[in-house]
Amino acid sequence: MQFLLALPALLAALNAHTALAASVIRDYTLDIVNGPVSPDGFTRIGVLANGTFPGPVLTANKGDTLRVLTDGSMRLSTTIDFDGVFIDTDNIYNEGSPFVTTCPFGPNTSYTYELPLGSLLLQLSAYSQLSVQYADGLRGPVIIYDPEDPQADLYDVDDESTILTVADWWHNTSTSGLASYMATQIIPVSDSGLFNGAGRFQGGPLTPYAAVSVTPRTRYRFRLINMSARSSFTVSIDNHTLTVIETDGVATVPIEVDVITLHAGQRYSFVLTANQPVANYWINAILSGGNPSHNANLNATLGRGILRYEGAPDAEPTTPITNGPPDPGPGALAESNLRAPTPDFNLTFLTFMAVNRTVWEINNVSYIPPHVPTLVKILKDGASTEADFNKSENTFVFPANKVIQVTFPPDPTDELHPFHLHGNNFWVVKSNDSDVINTVNPIRRDVSAMGNGGTILRFTTDKPGPWFFHCHIFYHFAAGLGSVILGGPDQTRQQVHPPSAWEGLCPAYDALPPALQ
């Protein structure tokens, strides 16, 4: 039996403000019992957590580990499915989908679910929004890495050394700048532009430029952040191509350019391959913002840094100083050329009843839970292809890190099916109630109504493992309207290492008399 624990309060607690707090383990005990319950005034016996309905509220912060000891004195076997909580592949064995990721545990036995609550999707931002204090230097990058980065195979290095910042800089205080702006309506032009916190102004001292070190034949993911208070920066690296893979925290189809202009608040990640002769190369970070004639200190050409290959002298490049390729120009990044990733695989799900209203099928197959859970087959039997599963398991296998599109075509004879994908959010590219196909900013959720108007969903297999994908109407689901999406079987085996307590669940379940199963 499956017990769905509703955790809306838990999800509500997962917001950006609490996310940076230290990660802790949150321990809870739930006694799962059979007991009377009367949510609508009619008393019946329910399977209850701690005897109440709804069960006790569990709270935690993103990044924490939620550890739940479940103790069963109910009559039948159960599992707990932490519906709506995002579980990473490493802990998929604790996801609790019966016969997909685990066997149920029997009466009078206990099991502890340990669920790290994932990482922030937010990639980076900057601190201090307090008036123009920002311009006085109270600014810095905040970077949160995605350990499951679907683009991880595109680069070798992504660490503190690959964070690049550009910023405009004023010699006067921001309060005098603001007073000047109020009086003249002209934003003060900055005195200099900084690259990684270093720069020069016209007639000033020869401050050393910031150098970024690279090892030959290595691929770097550089995270370029505009920390300026008003200016745009046009950034290029002599003799190198920049492959843009992300903008403002969202993956893009990789695009090769020579020059990137960052405007207000923009961030880009680009991959640079250190494939040139060992030398020093200019990084051009050319500031523009306001009329340069308003500030004689500003010489935008002085905004620069150095890309230094391992083995090159600790010196400035010997090549001429330029502003780099022009933007606009043939090698410039144009926002209109950026593309969201498109599907690698397209599936069509035809749902219909077979014979009568008690057998539902997807593509002619009615899901029947296997005796041996999907995850056990993957981990123990090396199951890797659709042929390794019984047809009635309706298991669809994909490589890791691919975009999957599932189309439910319009079908006037069908009825509503709220389909739910475990462990992942999908994009609703087309909702049942609209003909519009939105691949630009579709909503993300994990249950959407597949109605008779037709629905199109997209998701990525960036979390390897078998994830249940089924109609959430219990009766339809029990009548076979279910499937399993298995992404990256090899990666699943690499990442998932369940404890012996989990391994004991299936033998213990199998040993139960049928009446207790």
Ligand X SMILES: *[C@@H]1O[C@H](CO)[C@@H](O)[C@H](O)[C@H]1NC(C)=O
For the record, the structure tokens of 372 come out as 């041996």
Closest contact distance (angstroms) between CB of 64 and ligand X is 15
Q: Where are the alpha helices (DSSP H) in 86-231?
A: 174-184
Residue nearest ligand X (C-beta atom): 453
Identify residues 149-178 at the interface with ligand X (CB under 6 A): 171-172, 176
Q: Between residues 40 and 413, which has the closer beta carbon with respect to ligand X?
A: 413
What are residue 400's phi and psi, to 5 degrees?
A: -70, 155
CB-based burial label for 206 (10 Å; 0-12, 13-18, 19+): exposed
Distance in angstroms (rounded) separating the CA atoms of residues 124 and 64? 20
Encode burial over 471-500: b for 16+ CB neighbours within 10 A, e otherwise: bbbeebbebbbbbbbbbbbebbbebbebee
Closest contact distance (angstroms) between CB of 431 and ligand X is 8
Q: Are 333 and 253 in contact (CB under 8 A)?
A: no
Q: Give the list of residues 6+ apart from residue 488 with CB closer than 8 angstroms, or none.
A: 398, 399, 400, 401, 461, 464, 465
With tokens 């109910």, the residue in question is 74
Closest contact distance (angstroms) between CB of 361 and ligand X is 8
Tell me which of 123, 190, 228, 234 binds ligand X, using CB under 6 A.
228
Tell me which of 132, 157, 279, 338 binds ligand X, using CB under 6 A.
279
Using CB under 6 A as the binding rule, whether residue 59 contacts ligand X is answered as: no
67, containing H or E segment: strand 65-72
Tell me which of 120, 452, 473, 493 binds ligand X, using CB under 6 A.
452
Using CB under 6 A as the binding rule, whether residue 460 contacts ligand X is answered as: no
Identify residues 360-419 at the interface with ligand X (CB under 6 A): 363-364, 368, 390, 392, 405, 416
Tell me which of 225, 286, 421, 486 binds ligand X, using CB under 6 A.
225
Stretch that binds ligand X, among 113-121, 208-216, 249-257, 315-323 (CB under 6 A): 315-323
460, containing H or E segment: strand 455-460
3-state SS, 99-139, equals: CCCECCECCCCEEEEEEECCCCCCCEEECCCCHHHHHHCCC
Tell me which of 10, 60, 87, 126 binds ligand X, using CB under 6 A.
126
Stretch that binds ligand X, among 211-219, 226-234, 460-468, 490-498 (CB under 6 A): 226-234
Q: Between residues 43 and 363, which has the closer beta carbon with respect to ligand X?
A: 363
Stretch that binds ligand X, among 83-91, 209-217, 348-356, 473-481 (CB under 6 A): 348-356
Which of 89, 114, 28, 78 has its CA nearest to residue 508? 78
**How many Cα neighbours within 13 Å face the side chain of 330?**
0
Identify residues 203-222 at the interface with ligand X (CB under 6 A): none
- Chain residues in the site for ligand X (CB under 6 A): 28-31, 50, 56, 73, 107-108, 126, 171-172, 176, 188, 202, 225-231, 238-239, 264-265, 277, 279, 281, 295, 299, 301-302, 317, 319, 321, 342-346, 350, 355-356, 358-359, 363-364, 368, 390, 392, 405, 416, 432-433, 449, 451-453, 516
